[in-house]
Amino acid sequence: MKKKLFSILMLTGASLLLISCSTETNQNKDASTKETTTQSQKTEHVDYDDQEDWEFTSGDMQSPIDIVTSDTVAMTPDTGQISLDYGKDITKTENNGHSIQITDGGTAVINGRNFTLNQFHFHSESEHTINGEHYPMEAHFVNTAQDGRIAVIAVFFKDGAENKGFQEVLNNVDNDKTDPITDLNGMIPTNKSYYHYLGSLTTPPLNENVEWYVMKEPVEVSTAQINAFKKLYSHNNRKVQPLNKRVILEHDE
């Protein structure tokens, strides 16, 4: 019996489903049935006004977070170079109900490891904060490795000059088209210094062990472009989550 209880404690997240299907002690069964019901109800729909109800699979390594710059730690040894080759294989631009998302098949090499870009999308306001401050927007470039590991490269957008690449994204959405984005690199800072930590997806199912690379240098977009995005999605940002015991590393170029 003790052994059984121990094995239940070792299970997390999706495994709760298994518990509810087996015949465990009553108290565990009640708890897990409730979890499973909540999970199936919430995965289909992203409601930014009801974020408390997203916590069902949350562990203690969630994203986004507030990055307190005085608490970050230099990466040693600093081998964390990122090189990106994006925008070569754009197949879809969609307004998917919780963001504008562009499917792309570019590549990223992060710290000598190869990733493939799956898609990129945008949040407003920014999801991550720096010393408690939001940027007006944040782009997420979602990459996966062959073994399934996810690495997200986050880029802050600040108010400034018009961004040609982002305008091409907006034009695609307006015209319901998927024209090539000729200036995707304009949505990525030239200087690839970043903050790195381990977190989660920021929409359900909130999977953890996601590698985050939050670019320090923001790129510029115009006020009109920010407003055009906000017209579609004015608050599609998850609230910042507790850092708990995590360390935020820093890579400087």
Q: Which residues bind Zn ion (CB under 5 A)?
A: 140
* Number of CB atoms found within 10 A of residue 241's CB: 20
For 3-12, the CB contacts below 8 A with 24+ separation are: 12/59
> What is the nearest approach in angstroms of Zn ion to the Cβ of residue 121?
6
Task: Return the structure tokens found at 28.
Answer: 């565990």
Nearer to Zn ion, 56 or 141 (CB): 141
**Position of minimal CB gap to Zn ion:** 140
- Residue 128 annotated as catalytic: no
> What is the nearest approach in angstroms of Zn ion to the Cβ of residue 192?
19
Contact by Cβ (8 Å): 127, 135: no
Cα separation, 148 vs 174, whole angstroms:
33
Nearer to Zn ion, 73 or 97 (CB): 97
Q: Which one, of 97, 100, 248, 81, lies nearest residue 168 by Cα?
A: 100
Nearer to Zn ion, 142 or 249 (CB): 142
Task: Single out the catalytic residue among 45, 98, 128, 134.
Answer: 98
> What is the nearest approach in angstroms of Zn ion to the Cβ of residue 2?
42
Q: Which one, of 62, 73, 208, lies nearest residue 128 by Cα?
A: 62
Which residue's structure tokens are 């959405």? Answer: 173
Beta-carbon contacts of residue 70 (< 8 Å; ≥ 6 apart): none
> What is the nearest approach in angstroms of Zn ion to the Cβ of residue 24?
36
Nearer to Zn ion, 36 or 129 (CB): 129
Active site residues: 98
